Amino acid sequence: METTQTTQQIRLTPANVDALAGMCGQLDENIKLIEKRLEVEIRYRGELFDLSGDNAEHVMAAKTLLQNLYREALANPQVSPETVHLYLQESAIESLTRNKRSHSDQVVIKTRKAFIKPKGQNQQNYVTQIRKHDINFGIGPAGTGKTYLAVACAVEALEADRVERIMLVRPAVEAGEKLGFLPGDLSQKIDPYLRPLYDALYEMLGFELVDKLIEKNVIEIAPLAFMRGRTLNNAFIILDESQNTTREQMKMFLTRIGFGSTAVITGDRTQVDLPRGTSSGLAQAMHVLKDVKGISITTFGSSDVVRHPLVQRIVEAYDKFDEETEAEKKARNEARAAAAQAEQSSKES
């Protein structure tokens, strides 16, 4: 049985040689990436593109993707494969078969050195919720942008004078290791764990300004334990890696929030590094606070991962493994319960 080929033709306008070259990439690497991921064939001459493939939705997805990437290239001719991947993540499976949202609908974060456009509906909703609520949770696997976007929102709020300072907080627990073996004072011990936050700040504000703001305590970076007894007003507070908080620590942190402050709590419930037998404060908070007004909870999944495509597949593989493990545990427990009931029945008879 022959498969029916779907074809589409588009002309990218306004014609711009640099934008076309940037969109296609060196040796057409961007075009080849799209062909591979969407299983389509793309041929072009100048600004005229012919697309074909066995799956009509994929062909339409590729058409919309090219239009979006060309719009990106008109603003910035250097379109990297990473940018193509981000657009694919956003829309190849979920969004590219629909019309792209208009630019006026898109959420954008503007900082001194960066112009950040959240990728995908979930990231855009996350930023929107942070702007609306005083306490926000961003929960999901690595690579979903939950911490990076929180830092971007903090920098935006600081530059717009909506807050007076930024506080970056992390529990001093990491992958089962203890801080004691590290050289230096507590500040030097905690610094390596805060490196992702530093990197985001440097990208958005520049090295010199970040260092100056840290010296003036406009940006404060601290272990979670240092929060006890404080009330934080007019601040933007980010608690990163919150899955490694205890129940008591999470409650303590949430009750530090003062007037004019915004808090974002990020974490991944599948990567808890607390000692065996210690419950995660994040897991409890999700249950206790799910119906509390004024608190937003954004949950990210593997489809929201904006790193290398393998990261998404790794997350999905672990999720599948965890589901199978839980199903096996449930089956064992049910079997034990049934056996115990049968034994009890036999004794009674």
Q: Dump pLDDT digits (tens) for 116-170.
A: 888 778 888 999 999 989 999 999 887 788 999 999 999 999 998 889 999 998 8
Q: How remote is the C-alpha of 349 from its chain's centroid?
A: 59
pLDDT value of residue 176: 43
Q: Of 49, 19, 46, 45, give the one whose Cα is nearest residue 34.
A: 49
pLDDT value of residue 130: 94
CB atoms within 10 A of CB 111: 20
pLDDT value of residue 117: 83
User: Is residue 330 scored above 90 in pLDDT?
Assistant: no
195 versus 139: which is more confidently predicted?
Answer: 139
Assess contact for 103 and 231: CB atoms under 8 A. Answer: no
pLDDT value of residue 98: 44
Residue 121 has, within 13 A of its CA and on its CB side, a CA count of 11
Regarding pTM above 0.85, the answer is no
pLDDT in tens, 307-319: 555 655 676 677 6
Give me the DSSP letters along 212-226: HHHHTTSEEEEEGGG
Confidence of residue 239 (pLDDT cuts 50, 70, 90): very high
CA 58/CA 60 separation, integer angstroms: 5
pLDDT in tens, 90-123: 654 444 444 444 444 578 888 877 788 887 788 8
**CA-to-CA dists, residue 66 to 17, 44, 277, 308, 317, angstroms:** 15, 11, 51, 20, 30
Residues 6+ positions from 197 with CB-CB distance below 8 Å:
147, 151, 168, 170, 221, 238, 240
Average pLDDT, rounded, for the chain: 81
80: amino acid identity, one letter: S
Assess contact for 307 and 282: CB atoms under 8 A. Answer: no
User: Is residue 335 scored above 50 in pLDDT?
Assistant: yes
Structure tokens at 204: 């958005």
Give the pairing type, strands 235-239 and 165-170: parallel
